[in-house]
């Protein structure tokens, strides 16, 4: 057993900011499935949205966020998070984040940051570091965490279960409610389960886009935090709203990576195979419409024409500007023989971001005492039915900082007797070989039946298939020694089921959820959250 004051599960911007702030009050353990850099923050290209220009306003950013979220977001949450943006952007700069500046020879004050515009924004308000913003943030925060003597980092450790009343023997009377006292984690190198005991636990494990065959996320995004919280008794909210990024690079082999929305912010145009620009016929903002609208427009055009991809044409943007602003994309495209200063980029939508997650407050509080959640794993009420571009890093930053400075972190906790993990010696390799392909099957089912356009008939079919898969995997999990791939596949099935059940309960189309049975929005019956 390892003893800490605070346990952080996950290593993106939310986890690292919480760890740095909480370390002022006690010892912190960061537990992450692979390396610190294996997270969605590292993959974030575009930037972080904040009101940093005198001609912009908090009111306009709030309105853009609420409108992009199909009027399902919480107005008070939206405005509080946006108002915190400038102060915490300065916090990132103070930690060492080197954003692109208007004048590189000038100091790092906020008013000198270079800003771009992305889909759904009415103003240029996205701060960035070339097209590798997340990487720059991760470099700064990782360096601060590694040099902090109050923080211990455990890489290649997969969290399996939150420690709650479910695990302890309550022989002196019942402990009411649900509390979290840490987590069990599998050391993937030694194949041993370790108990991390902590006064407070932060879930910052990111999203679950790996449940879709075509996605923009790293392999670690299997919904572990959402699944652990669900199993422990926390509520999930708005799981039907899975955002598909409109412009993921397309190849016949299925290899993909994100093409940042900032490229369209600088003037790139979506075109069909015959060169026709089409977004103006779908939305007044054209190529800078909110992501849900752009993704559906592309999906509609591709299905109408029987094609698998369209093109993102950036050739009208000055070549020097492209190379300076988007060096990562340039290098990745050149690997495939594409010079984006001369050639259009083949793109298609891919699963990208969960607007829903563990029901939580703006301070990261969840249904479970001592358990916080921040970032994509959580549903704070900011995004509503569809996330406004570059609001994700902002949300993770603000809520993680608020959680780490919440008064409850000073509480003294009385711990029950927590048992060590129940070890099983046997692992049935033959049986696992038979069912290990279920991970791929989940991705195929979700992509085919629970994607950009949905029908109730196919949703019900998908639910039946994946419930059977879950039962099969969970039965294996209960009777065999724990393995990382088993835990991940079980978690993926849990989250896939939550997405489908939420989608079936919403008989309208709103934001990232489009139901062909009910293609219109219904504000009379469904302008409310889906909570399971």
Active site residues: 291
- Classify burial at 76, counting beta carbons within 10 Å of its beta carbon; exposed 0-12, middle 13-18, buried 19 or more: exposed
- What whole-number distance in Å separates Cα of residue 455 and Cα of residue 446? 12
Which residues contact residue 333 at a Cβ distance below 8 angstroms, ignoring those fewer than 6 apart? 249, 339, 340, 345
List C-alpha distances in Å: 29 to 20, 22, 155. Answer: 11, 10, 10
- What whole-number distance in Å separates Cα of residue 193 and Cα of residue 206? 22
Q: Give the full edge-to-edge strand order of the sheet including 115-116.
A: 48-49, 126-127, 115-116
340-375 burial: b if 16+ Cβ within 10 Å, else e: bbeebbbbbbbbbbbbbbbbbbbbbbbbbbbbbbbb
Would strands 151-154 and 28-31 be described as parallel, antiparallel, or unpaired? parallel
What is the DSSP track for 330-398? HHHHHHTT--TTTSPEEEEEEEEEES-EEE--TT-B-SSBTEEE-STTEE-SSSTTSPPTT-HHHHHHH
What is the DSSP track for 384-453? TTSPPTT-HHHHHHHHHHHHHT-GGGG-------PPPP-------HHHHHHHTTHHHHHHHHHHHHSSSS
* Tokens of residue 147, six digits: 């040099």
Residue 476 β-bridge partners: none
* Tokens of residue 432, six digits: 């696992």
**Secondary structure of residue 182 in the 3-state scheme:** strand
DSSP strand E in 192-327: where? Answer: 192-203, 236-237, 242-249, 269-271, 310-313
**Secondary structure of residue 235 in the 3-state scheme:** coil
Which position has the token pair 């935090």?
225
Measure the CA angle with vertex 81, ends 83 and 75; round to 5°. Answer: 100
């Amino acid at each position: 057993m390892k003893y800490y004051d605070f346990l952080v599960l996950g290593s993106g911007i939310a986890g690292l900011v919480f760890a740095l702030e909480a370390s002022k009050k006690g010892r912190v353990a960061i537990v992450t499935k692979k390396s610190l850099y294996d997270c969605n923050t590292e993959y974030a290209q575009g930037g972080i949205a904040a009101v940093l220009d005198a001609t912009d306003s908090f009111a306009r950013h709030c309105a853009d966020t609420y409108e992009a979220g199909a009027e399902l977001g919480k107005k008070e949450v939206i405005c509080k998070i946006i108002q915190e943006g400038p102060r915490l952007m300065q916090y990132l700069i103070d930690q060492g984040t080197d954003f692109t500046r208007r004048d590189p020879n000038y100091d790092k004050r906020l008013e000198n940051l270079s800003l771009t515009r992305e889909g759904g924004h009415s103003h240029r308000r996205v701060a960035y570091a070339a097209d590798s913003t997340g990487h720059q943030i991760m470099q700064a925060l990782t360096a601060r965490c590694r040099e902090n003597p109050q923080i211990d980092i455990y890489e290649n450790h997969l969290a399996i279960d939150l420690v709650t009343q479910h695990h302890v023997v309550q022989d002196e009377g019942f402990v009411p409610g649900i509390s979290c006292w840490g987590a069990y984690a599998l050391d993937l190198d030694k194949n041993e389960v370790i108990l991390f005991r902590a006064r407070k636990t932060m879930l910052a494990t990111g999203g679950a886009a790996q449940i879709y065959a075509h996605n923009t996320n790293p392999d670690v995004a299997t919904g572990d935090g959402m699944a652990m919280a669900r199993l422990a008794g926390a509520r999930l909210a708005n799981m039907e709203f899975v955002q598909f990024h409109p412009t993921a690079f397309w190849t016949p082999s299925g290899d993909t990576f994100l093409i940042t929305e900032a490229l369209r912010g600088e003037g790139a145009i979506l075109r069909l195979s015959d060169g026709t620009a089409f977004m103006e016929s779908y939305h007044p903002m054209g190529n800078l419409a909110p992501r849900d609208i752009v993704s559906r427009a592309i999906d509609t055009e591709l299905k109408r024409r029987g094609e698998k991809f369209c093109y993102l044409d950036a050739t009208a943007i000055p070549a020097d500007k492209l190379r300076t602003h988007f060096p990562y994309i340039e290098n990745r495209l050149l690997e495939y023989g594409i010079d984006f200063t001369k050639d259009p980029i083949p793109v298609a939508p891919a699963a990208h971001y969960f607007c829903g997650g563990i029901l939580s407050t703006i301070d990261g509080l969840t249904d479970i005492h001592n358990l916080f959640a921040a970032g994509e794993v959580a549903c704070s009420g900011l995004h509503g039915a569809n996330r406004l571009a570059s609001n994700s890093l902002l949300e993770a930053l603000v809520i993680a900082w608020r959680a780490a400075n919440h008064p409850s972190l000073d509480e003294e906790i009385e711990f029950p007797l927590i048992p060590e993990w129940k070890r099983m010696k046997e692992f049935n390799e033959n049986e696992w070989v038979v069912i290990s392909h279920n991970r791929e099957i989940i991705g195929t089912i979700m992509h085919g039946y629970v994607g950009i356009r949905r029908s109730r008939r196919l949703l019900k079919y998908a639910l039946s298939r994946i419930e059977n898969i879950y039962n099969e995997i969970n039965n294996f999990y209960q009777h065999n020694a724990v393995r990382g791939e088993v835990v991940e596949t079980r978690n993926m099935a849990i989250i896939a089921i939550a997405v489908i059940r939420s989608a079936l309960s919403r008989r309208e189309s709103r934001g990232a959820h489009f139901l062909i049975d009910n293609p219109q929005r219904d504000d009379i019956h469904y302008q409310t959250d889906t909570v399971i």
